[in-house]
Structure 1
């Protein structure tokens, strides 16, 4: 996709996006989040969702959720800036900073005691202790990758990739973005029991 019909950032909005990400890292460090896994090393992939390494490394089974965030934020920005025309003819350039801001806000909120305790009590992540700063930074990058995919790929392909990501994560670890949202907002005992039966809770 190209031209006014797509949320193509320019140099200025890329710099703003990087600045938002940098401020987010500073905030997380100020909150006392560990820079990297307390195990003392960094892994590209960590496949266990209920041990001390969960959400501490660069990628894990929740990475598809963050990629899907980027796809959703792209759709939201397109609806705002292109379809509705909010902000004028050049506003579509700000789709990426908006997406980074939304993801950054979630990363900060996700690492507050309130949300950490909520995750531990109602989701499959009973051992969740929050993200390392490395993991949060990686999540911002994965979200941006999802935004880029939505920018470059046809809508049908983007939707198909999102569905595949949800199905694969749901099958392998019995958890994904959909289950996380449901269990955080309105926990369903049947889902909790199904996840427990699979050994993830």
Structure 2
């Protein structure tokens, strides 16, 4: 299992988008008090699946990220969760148990895997423990939780983008990048004060 792996194998080198691009209708909903509870249910499901597979979950990072993790922020009704594992290439340690727990593989790319529920209402992002992406997700979440101005900016940006049609949710996500980078720069500056 995870703690017994002595040698790392090479990671994947390209993007595997299981099922290909998906045309989706993305709609924002006002913040929903049920989102934190849904996260907690899936955190328990993830921990149980990994524990049953022999993964040491005592220090496992499982965090609610994305807009549904920010009170008061309108969001598409998809619970995003980040999980930091010891070795992203050791898929047998985490991917197989999560698939057995009912999640479906959607993305396999260097340093990142994404599984989701069949209903597509929960996305679980898997990274290695020290991957900067984990810190970046938490930086954005924590800043949006405390900065009303940036929270409003982010929501208005999402609303403006959603007035357009998107062939794939990944394209919509990419379109938010500039605003997200600016918000994270302000978040870092606030931490340095």
Global fold match (TM > 0.5): no
Highest relative contact order (Cα 8 Å, sep 6+), 1 or 2? 1
Q: With structure 1 as the length reference, what TM-score do the two structures score? A: 0.27
- Higher strand fraction: Structure 1 or Structure 2? 2
Q: With structure 2 as the length reference, what TM-score do the two structures score? A: 0.28
